[in-house]
Each structure stands twice: as structure tokens, then as C-alpha cells.
Structure 1
Amino acid sequence: MRFGMPWPGAGLAREAEQAGVGAFCTGDFVDHDAYLTLAEMAAHTERALIGPAIAYAFARTPYAHATALRQVHAQAPDRLFLGLGSAAYRINRDWFGVPADRPVDRMAETVGAVRAWLHAENGERVRYSGEFHSIDADVRAPVLGRLDIPVLLAAFNKGMARTAGRVADGVIGHGLFTRSWWNDVVRPAVEKGTADSPRPAPPVEHGWIITAVDDAAPERAIADARRMIAFYLTVKTYDPFVAHHGWEEPVARLREAFRTGDTDTMAAAVTDEMLAEIALCGTTADAKAALARRAGSLPRDVGYFAPPSFLVNGRRRAAYARSSLALIDAVPTAA
């Protein structure tokens, strides 16, 4: 497994790549754009894989996804991947003003339409015909040529995981993923999708890993990891995950605390079992021991060791990112 990180900025990224970080990812939110950050990543790295994990799939047209990748590919050839996520229904409706019904079917078509632009050869029309996307572009300028950039899907539940196996090149796991969720839910669904796919190569696995290491203040790191887990679990989309693990009671408590703005009680509701199954946190020694214990709960190909972001300021996130570099040597043994 490659040791990856969410993009930590140009200064720390140079240090991280020299230390052995093999992949960086970026994403979308209201204050940052996945593809603008991807261009920064290309300019300030030399060898690492780089890509969105994830870009909001429906916030842009397939054309917009593909053209951004084409431009960055010229600067970082053979290092790109594209991770797409459907985002929540309300985000699509209320933030982007785009339809997002039937997200699994819509995502499958989006992958096909993005690939139509990425695989387009000079002198050929770019064509794709589906229910949600229809493309028939005669591009006369000699700027095309096939790009085989891997397309991955953020897949939490079975439907999207199966679609990732069927139409994409792989899957991106959420920071909540446990050994059981990977092995009992996500991987079997991806395999079912792969059985329906003509793709010869097996799907790849990327995934996020909540990581908070602080040798000077390990209790604060643990509290930040608990708070991050609690914040994620306020989302009802993850109810099948909660039920699968039998965590309904603590999740009910943390959701009630979230409604009242009591973030300390939110964190306290995350049990020791939940923390051990999901996060790497505490001292460096604690995190290394957790890595060795959690080999089966890690993605097979690329893991993004991600600092908590909920109520954690930029300075502390950067400190967590730098501290996580001490885990690089432990990753091959864990994986």
C-alpha cells in the first residue's frame, strides 16, 4: 500500500514526498476547488500519484472534468487519477442546483461520459449517448488523444460499490471504513460489479484513514479523532454501517449532542471500540500498533492518512500531517 496524504500545501508536500509519501489527494468544498488544487499539486510534486478524492461528480459536466484533467496531465503525465463522489442529495439540489435523483445510475453514466472525452482521439467525433448525458462533439482542433487516467468512485454502500466494480477502475473508501465494512460489504459488492465488467485489470482500492498523532499531547489527538468520527456519524446515509456494527445506541447519543451543539458529549459518545476500529491516534507508538493490528481494514493500494478536520484548526492539522510521516515505515508491515 502506498502511503498517501490529503494535500498539505506545497511546503510540507515537498518534505512529505522526500520522506516517501507516494500519493496526494484533494477535494471539493465551498472554499477550495479540486482541480485548482490539483494543478498546485502537479507543480509542487515530482513522483507521487495525484488526484481528487473526491471531486463532486454532478457539480461539473463530464466535459469540465475531462478538460481539467487534460490540462494538468500535460504537467504531470502518468501520475493522475480521478476520484468522483456523488455528494449528498441536498448538496446537489441546494448548493449546485442540479438533479441528483438515482445517483448510482447517474454516476455510472458520468464515468462513461468523462471517459468519452478522455479517450477521444484526434480526428474522431466524441460521442456518448445515455439517459443523463448525450455528447456528439466534432472537435477540429488537434488537441485530443487518448488519456488512460484511472477513474475511481467514492463508494460507501453496496450499490455504489458494485457500480465502482462494474464501470470504474476502482473504489475510494471513507474514513469510517472498518475491517468488517471493507470485507463484508464493500469488497464483495465491488467483486460482484467486476464480474459484470469487461475490464481485465482488478479494481484498485484507495481509502481515507483518520490519523491524529501527537506524542506531546496524545489525549488531545484522541479527542480530535473521536470528534471527527462523531461528526461523520451524524449523517443518516451511514445508518447501514451503524447497524452493521451494532452501534445504534452511541450514535443516537452523539446525534442528540450534535443537535444541541455539545461537541464534547459528541466525542464522548464514540466508544473505545469505535475508535479502535476506525482511527489511528494517540502517540506514534499507539498509531504504529494500531496499523499492525488493522492490516485488513486498510485499502490495498493507497491509504490517505488524514488529520481530523472537524473543529481542528489549520495549524494543528498541519502538525498532525507532519507527525503522520513517522508511520511511513510501519505501513508495509501493516499492509
Structure 2
Amino acid sequence: MRVGINAGHFAGAPPADLADRLRAVDDAGFASLWFAEAYGSDVFTTLGAAAALTRRVRLGSAIAQIPARTPTATAMAATTLDHLSGGRVVLGVGASGPQVSEGWHGVPYGRPLARTREYVAVLRQALARREPVTYAGEFHHLPAAPGPGVTGLGKPLRSSLHPLRERLPVWLGAEGPRNVALAAEIADGWHAMFFAPAFDDLYRDALAEGFARRPGGRPDGFEVVATVPVVLDDDVERAADRVRPELALYMGGMGARGANFHHDVFVRMGYGAVAERVQELYLSGRKADAAAAIPTELVEQVALVGPAAKVRRDLDRWAPTVVDEIAVQGLPTDVHAVAAALL
């Protein structure tokens, strides 16, 4: 099982020792280094900094938000970064959620799978640079479709920057079965969140559905990376307590009642009553109680917690699953201790 690091996004401010930690990830032998974005730090600036500070580790976006940029802008950023990093980039994109898409970016969220399909189609054209980009879809028009404010002077363009590689990998971040199937159908990989080894069959079925719709079936090199919280502590409960607030945020507060796909993950896992209680407490402002309502057994489904020896044993549960690599959630303060436990 390969192991990487998903540094996530910065809250408040980047850590003062960020450069040292990024170099440590590279030196320690981790397979990959991923960054994310929500409604604060962006993913490509941080990946650019990481490219300058590292030499060998693979660099990925997990994920770049689809509503944050046009597909051609995303292609520009990814192609530029691929050159500057020496071809180490994996471009992960995803629809985000309605609160961020509509509340932060002002972009409609409806029909996220259809939007994602179109976005990736335009993105592929721009990255390949085989011909000027043209597209006439429901959500994307290149050149711009006639309408208010459109001059009609736009023409199909091809990137002035040549790609470093013939095919830069495009992955999807996905949680629900339909979105996982879409990743298998149109992408080069799937970046998973809240993956539970005990429910591997559900994800195998979703991937199989997508590969069945893809000409030629599963492509060579398709990968699955799962972001997994890892907390090393001799006390399992104390370790689980460090994971519970994040799970409560996503399960209970990341999205509106009835429109939270993170919440739905835990319902599908059989924790519907727990998820409902956590959401009720979180949305009523009782965040600490919401975290406390999450049982340790649920934490251990989606996280690696406890003494190093236990964490190594638990990691073995991921080996027979569809997951090729786990990405430790967060940028550890002691990178080498995590490396010693997992590598």
C-alpha cells in the first residue's frame, strides 16, 4: 500500500514551518503530496510552492473546484504547474457542494454530474492542445454563445503553452456511487474521501458500472487514492477524539439538511441514526455534542487511530480493496514519525 500526504487547505494561515514540512514529506519517501481548497487558500498556489520545495514526490489537487474556474483556466494552471514540477502533476477536479458553489463562487450547483462531464470534456481538449478548443454544451460554450454582452468576436483558440506530457492525468473527487461511476467512465483516477474498507464491494460495483460505459473498459493506469485521517497515540479514544470534530463537521454541518452528500456516505455505511443525530446536534450549534455522538467504531471505519503497531495492522485492511494508495489527511507536524509508522 503506497502512502501519500493530503495537506488539505489552510485555515487561518499557512503553518510557519510549511517549507520544512514539505521538504520532509519529500525526503521521507511519501508517494504523493496533495492540496485541497474550500473557500480560503487555493489549490494551485500551494501546489506551485510545493513544486519549488520538493524534488520527487507526485503533486496533486484533491480537489480543484469546478465552480471556481473555467475548464480552460484549470487547464492553464495544470499545464504550467506540470512544466514547473517536471511532470509530477495529477489534476483532481470535483463539483464541490452547493454551499460553496453557490455561496462562495456564485455558480449554480444543479445537476453536478452533467456539469462535471462537460467540464472534463473541455478540460481534455485544452490539455491535449491538438486543435483549437470548441464546445457547445448545456453549461459550457466555447466560443461564447450569442447573448447579452457577447460581442461575437471570440474565436476558437489553442493554448500557447505546449503540454509537457502527452496526457496529463485528470481525476475526479467523488463520494456517491453515481459520481464514483462517472470517475471510472471519464477520468484517469478517483480520489476518495471517507472510504471504509468494509464497504469495498459498494465501490467496486460503482467503478465496474463506470468502466462498463467506457470504450475499452478499465484503462491502464487508473488509480484510486483515499484520503484517510491518521492519528498516532497510545490511547485509542484520545486519538479518535482528534478525528471526531472533523467527522462531525462533514457529517452534520457541511451542507444543508437533506443536501449533504458527506452525510449520505455514513447513511450508506449503516450509520443512519448516528448521522441523523450528529446533524441535528451540529445544526443546532452543539458542535462538541455532535462530535461526542460519533462512536469509536465509526471513526475506525474511515480512519487509522491509536498506537503505531495498531495503525500498521489496521492499514492492512486497505490492502485488498480497490484503493491503491492512502493519503494521510493533514500535513503532520512530525512527518518522520508518521513515515516510520506507515512506510
Whether the TM-score (by the shorter chain) exceeds 0.5 is yes
Is the counterpart of residue 171 in structure 1 residue 190 in structure 2?
yes
Q: Residue 4 of structure 2 corresponds to which residue in structure 1?
A: 4
CA contact (8 A) 1:24 1:50 kept: yes
Alignment map for 1:221-236 (pairs within 5 Å)? 221-234=239-252, 235=254, 236=260
Distance in structure 2 (CA, Å) of the matches to 1:233 and 1:323: 29
TM-score by length of 1: 0.85
Structure 2 residue aligned with 1:154, among 134, 150, 173?
A: 173
Structure 2 counterpart of 1:268, one-letter code? A
Q: Closer, same or farther in 2 for the Cα pair 1:164/1:271, shift >3 Å? A: same
Distance in structure 1 (CA, Å) of the matches to 2:269 and 2:306: 23
Q: Residue 42 of structure 2 corresponds to which residue in structure 1?
A: 33
Distance in structure 1 (CA, Å) of the matches to 2:323 and 2:3: 10
Q: Residue 296 of structure 2 corresponds to which residue in structure 1?
A: 272
Is the counterpart of residue 193 in structure 1 residue 210 in structure 2?
yes
Distance in structure 2 (CA, Å) of the matches to 1:250 and 1:130: 41
CA contact (8 A) 1:250 1:270 kept: yes
CA contact (8 A) 2:142 2:156 kept: no
Q: Residue 150 of structure 2 corresponds to which residue in structure 1?
A: none
Q: Residue 75 of structure 2 corresponds to which residue in structure 1?
A: 66
Structure 2 residue aligned with 1:125, among 132, 141, 146?
A: 132
Structure 2 counterpart of 1:193, one-letter code? G
Q: Residue 146 of structure 2 corresponds to which residue in structure 1?
A: none
Structure 2 counterpart of 1:177, one-letter code? F
Q: Residue 304 of structure 1 corresponds to which residue in structure 2?
A: 327
Structure 1 counterpart of 2:169, one-letter code? P
- The alignment yields a C-alpha RMSD, in angstroms, of 2.4
Distance in structure 2 (CA, Å) of the matches to 1:321 and 1:254: 32
How far residue 218 of structure 1 moved from its aligned partner, in angstroms, is: 5.7
How far residue 80 of structure 1 moved from its aligned partner, in angstroms, is: 0.6
Distance in structure 2 (CA, Å) of the matches to 1:288 and 1:280: 9
Q: Residue 79 of structure 1 corresponds to which residue in structure 2?
A: 88
Structure 2 residue aligned with 1:204, among 191, 211, 223?
A: 223
Paired residues, number = 314
How far residue 118 of structure 1 moved from its aligned partner, in angstroms, is: 0.3
Distance in structure 1 (CA, Å) of the matches to 2:61 and 2:243: 23
Distance in structure 1 (CA, Å) of the matches to 2:299 and 2:87: 37
How far residue 53 of structure 1 moved from its aligned partner, in angstroms, is: 0.4
SS at match of 1:256: helix
SS at match of 2:305: strand
Structure 2 residue aligned with 1:17, among 16, 23, 26?
A: 26
SS at match of 2:87: coil
TM-score by length of 2: 0.83
Distance in structure 2 (CA, Å) of the matches to 1:281 and 1:306: 12
Q: Closer, same or farther in 2 for the Cα pair 1:64/1:208, shift >3 Å? A: same
Q: Closer, same or farther in 2 for the Cα pair 1:198/1:77, shift >3 Å? A: farther
Q: Residue 280 of structure 2 corresponds to which residue in structure 1?
A: 256
Q: Closer, same or farther in 2 for the Cα pair 1:148/1:265, shift >3 Å? A: same
Q: Closer, same or farther in 2 for the Cα pair 1:131/1:256, shift >3 Å? A: closer
CA contact (8 A) 2:277 2:290 kept: yes
Structure 2 residue aligned with 1:134, among 134, 141, 160?
A: 141
Distance in structure 2 (CA, Å) of the matches to 1:2 and 1:281: 18
Deviates more, 1:237-246 or 1:28-37: 237-246
Distance in structure 1 (CA, Å) of the matches to 2:282 and 2:34: 29
CA contact (8 A) 2:58 2:90 kept: yes
Q: Closer, same or farther in 2 for the Cα pair 1:157/1:21, shift >3 Å? A: same
Alignment map for 1:84-99 (pairs within 5 Å)? 84-99=93-108
CA contact (8 A) 1:172 1:206 kept: yes
Q: Residue 10 of structure 2 corresponds to which residue in structure 1?
A: none
Structure 1 residue aligned with 2:119, among 110, 116, 137?
A: 110
CA contact (8 A) 2:309 2:341 kept: no
Structure 1 residue aligned with 2:308, among 284, 299, 317?
A: 284
Q: Residue 333 of structure 2 corresponds to which residue in structure 1?
A: 319
Q: Closer, same or farther in 2 for the Cα pair 1:126/1:298, shift >3 Å? A: closer
